Amino acid sequence: MPDLASAIRDLVIANRILARENVVDAYGHVSIRHPLHPERYLLSCSRSPELVERADIVEFNFAGEAVDGDTRRPYLERFIHGAIYEARPEINAVVHSHADDVLPFSITSTPIRPVIHNASGLGLHVPVWDMRDAFGDTSLLVATVDHGRDLAKALGGASVVLMRGHGFSAAGRTLLEAVGISVYVPKNARVLISAMRLGEVKGLSAGEIDRIRHGPHAHDLRRAWEYWTRRAGCADLL
């Protein structure tokens, strides 16, 4: 279990990585479950991920309230994070992204599926959450606890849920897993769209996904984390 200072350092690095790898831009966010208080999570105040620093990190409860009375403006869609942590005790990191490459699969009947080795974290089934089904016409923003809980329900036991016309949210057992999934989801989407133009597409099988993720040659993202960290200009934080 990481200590609080290390957890905050890694969360800052994760923000910078996701920005550098074009998973997030001015918008989008990443959080971790509090390492000492599992009924809380750590998330930046409302800043673009590329600019996030240690002092920007705030503790929230699952209702999206700053536990120490911090009055800085929070992300409006922080309810995504609290609801997923509330519903999934095994999840310790959440990413929300608006990556363009993923959006076509959120607004058509064509499902996204893992077709490249590094995207095995997608799993075989990626649900699509349509906010309109439960809430009618909205801004498409997850702006309340009820919105977040409905999204978490759609995510179910999956690692990724697409959000119709909006983006995706990814959940990981570790921060490294959540970041890795989020980096490779848009890359997988680009490959899949390109392949569909050529003809029949062969995706990963359930057995392949299991071996990539849990087998004797399981994908180790620690090397990628160091690489991404240096690309993001955060080598001094390692």
**What are the tens digits of pLDDT across the range 5-48?**
999 999 999 999 999 999 999 999 999 999 999 999 999 999 99
Best CA proximity match to 206, nearest among 99, 125, 96: 125
For residue 45, give the DSSP letter.
Answer: B
Q: Which residue has the tokens 């409006």?
A: 76
What are 110-148's pLDDT values in tens digits?
999 999 999 999 999 999 999 999 999 999 999 999 999
What is the architecture of the domain spanning 4-237? 3-Layer(aba) Sandwich (3.40)
Structure-block tokens of residue 164: 């119709």
Side chain identity at residue 111, one-letter code: P
Q: Report, as residue numbers or ranges, the catalytic residues.
A: 77
What are 172-202's pLDDT values in tens digits?
999 999 999 999 999 999 999 999 999 999 9
**Domain residue extents for the chain:** 4-237
Sheet holding 160-163, edge to edge: 57-61, 40-44, 29-33, 93-97, 167-172, 160-163, 128-129
Residues 6+ apart with CB under 8 A from 167: 28, 96, 97, 98, 99, 102, 103, 106
Structure-block tokens of residue 192: 């899949």
Alpha-carbon gap, residue 12 to 16, rounded angstroms: 6
Ramachandran bin of 92, using left for φ above 0, alpha for ψ from -120 to 50, beta for the remaining angles: alpha
Does 237 score more than 90 pLDDT? no
